[in-house]
Structure 1
Amino acid sequence: MLIADCTSKLGEELVTQLLDSRACVLTIGKSDYDESKRIGPCERLIETGVDELTVRTVPTVVAFVGEGVGKLDSIVFNNYMGPTPEALSSVNDAYSSSILDTLSFLHPLIRNGGSIVFCGPLDAHVEVRPAFHTKLALAVLAAVADHWAAVLGPRGIRVNVVTPYQADDQRPREGFPLRVPPSLNEEDSSEHDRLTSQVVARTAENVLFMASDTSRPWSATQLFSDGELRVITRRPL
């Protein structure tokens, strides 16, 4: 599995859960996997040497995977934090184009029957109208997933979206936002960190579930934190 961002909390949790399950992980960005858990060098943790997945760096990733790894079972795009309030439309369009261009390079590396998972942002970058920001971010991911589910469907590659928010209000089950507000005291901050860890762990579990063959044949769907699964679009068979 290739993880698009191993520097975030979700990326770190994905690496941990995958390695604990004896899977092989390719990382973009430096992984902080707990060294104390290693008996020796972890041959299943493979660093690509790329700090950030962009259209500019993706050829390097493609060359690395093609020469040293071969076919990928799945790719997780957990590097989207949502549009900024200053330029919602332009950032929205730019991100969609970037992911489409990136996948144009990466999808030949995925084995037939593999999977792609897009992750909704764990934390909004705005203090005002966070629900609107979240819905817009998820709409971007849904549109990209819908496109690639149709393109890659003939190869049996499934494309889905996982969000840390509930289906009804699209907020994390354990609280929103995930960043600690400055007004929190030490006790509240500790509780906030605990709840944040729960959100991250649950989201990682859902990502790995949707990436696995257990979730077959679902594609072009969105999995929410409360377990609700929604079809992004219905295409004629």
Structure 2
Amino acid sequence: MELLNNKTALVTGGTSGIGLATAQRLAAEGAHVFVTGRNQSTLDAAVASIGEQATGVRGDVSRPEDLDAVVDAIRAHGRGLDVVFANAGGGEFAALPDITPEHLADTFGTNVYGTVYTVQKMLPLLNPGASVVLTGSTAAHNGTPSFSAYAASKAAIRSLGRTWAAELAERGIRVNTVTPGPIETRGLKELAPAGGEQELLDQLTADVPLGRLGRPDEIASAVVYLGSDLSSFVTGTELFVDGGAEQL
């Protein structure tokens, strides 16, 4: 059975990694998926990989005016919105002495402001019983050196998820946070300094009780759970998909 048959979903940052895997999985479960990304060519490739159940809308979630085009496209589809996966985000290493205003603005602009703008703009479109899923990070729960801005931005996401779950409960809208551990994506590998990719991956793997990095499709499965009626009595929670890294 398709868990999201005839539903409409939005995935921000859906052109690669976790976002793309989730958009593909939501479509496989029967949803029509709207996908956003900042680069038109990668957005076109993502939509092509999903098929006719996908619509791409180019935009930067840190710019509210870009999200207006997403709203217009979903409204024109005529079915409202059932699942929002506010996934767009990113970060870079910077030790405390090296943090700049630009680093803070970029990290918080996408991860925090972009998430706020995304959910805020989609509120009028959300159908009764809709599900909002935010992307957190285990970095918010540990002290990773030189990753403070990113970790703080993801701690904010967890807080926003709790508050919005309380605010939107009267509309029957659920809000939850999915928190990946280290997932083998291009974005993770790009955090490594030149020539240090394997060292970084080995270090991260050593910290995971299951002894491996996660896969994007494993996060996608968690989002499908939180986005579907399988989790109809789940809101305000944080679902760790981290191989036990923060629990054991």
* Residue 98 to residue 12, structure 1, CA distance change in 2 (3 Å): closer
Q: Residue 205 of structure 1 aligns to which amino acid in structure 2?
A: S
Partner of 2:152: 136
Q: Residue 152 of structure 2 aligns to which amino acid in structure 1?
A: L
Contact 2:14 2:46 in 1 (8 A): no
Structure 1 position 178 matched with structure 2 position 188: yes
Q: Residue 99 of structure 1 aligns to which amino acid in structure 2?
A: T
**Structure 2 SS opposite 1:57:** helix
Q: Counterparts of 2:236 and 2:91 in 1: how far apart (Å)?
A: 20
Pairing 1:2-151 to 2, within 5 Å after superposition: 2-29=10-37, 30=43, 32-33=45-46, 42-47=51-56, 49-53=57-61, 54-82=63-91, 85-87=99-101, 94=109, 96-120=112-136, 129=145, 132-133=148-149, 135-151=151-167
Question: How far is the alpha carbon of 1:155 from its aligned partner?
Answer: 0.6
Contact 2:86 2:133 in 1 (8 A): yes
**Structure 2 SS opposite 1:2:** strand
Q: Counterparts of 1:204 and 1:34 in 2: how far apart (Å)?
A: 16
Calculate percent identity across the aligned residue pairs: 24
**Structure 2 SS opposite 1:163:** strand
Contact 2:162 2:236 in 1 (8 A): yes
**Structure 1 SS opposite 2:238:** strand
Contact 1:82 1:137 in 2 (8 A): no
Q: Counterparts of 1:138 and 1:18 in 2: how far apart (Å)?
A: 24
Partner of 2:180: 164
Contact 1:26 1:45 in 2 (8 A): yes
* Residue 31 to residue 117, structure 1, CA distance change in 2 (3 Å): farther
The count of aligned residue pairs is 209
Give a deviation string over 1:95-124, Cα, whole Å, max 9, x none: 544433432221111111111011125999
Partner of 2:205: none
Contact 1:59 1:105 in 2 (8 A): yes
Partner of 1:209: 225
Task: Please state which structure has a larger fraction of its residues in helix.
Answer: 2
* Residue 27 to residue 92, structure 1, CA distance change in 2 (3 Å): closer
Q: Residue 131 of structure 2 aligns to which amino acid in structure 1?
A: S
CA RMSD of aligned residues (A): 3.7
Structure 1 position 220 matched with structure 2 position 236: yes
For structure 1, which runs of at least 5 residues remain unmatched after alignment?
166-171, 229-237
**Structure 2 SS opposite 1:143:** helix
Q: Residue 217 of structure 1 aligns to which amino acid in structure 2?
A: F
* Residue 5 to residue 211, structure 1, CA distance change in 2 (3 Å): same
For structure 2, which runs of at least 5 residues remain unmatched after alignment?
1-8, 38-42, 203-211
Q: Counterparts of 1:82 and 1:137 in 2: how far apart (Å)?
A: 9
**Structure 2 SS opposite 1:28:** strand
Q: Counterparts of 1:173 and 1:70 in 2: how far apart (Å)?
A: 33
Question: How far is the alpha carbon of 1:184 from its aligned partner?
Answer: 4.8
* Residue 219 to residue 136, structure 1, CA distance change in 2 (3 Å): same
Greater mean alpha carbon deviation, residues 145-154 or residues 90-99: 90-99
Greater mean alpha carbon deviation, residues 150-159 or residues 6-15: 6-15
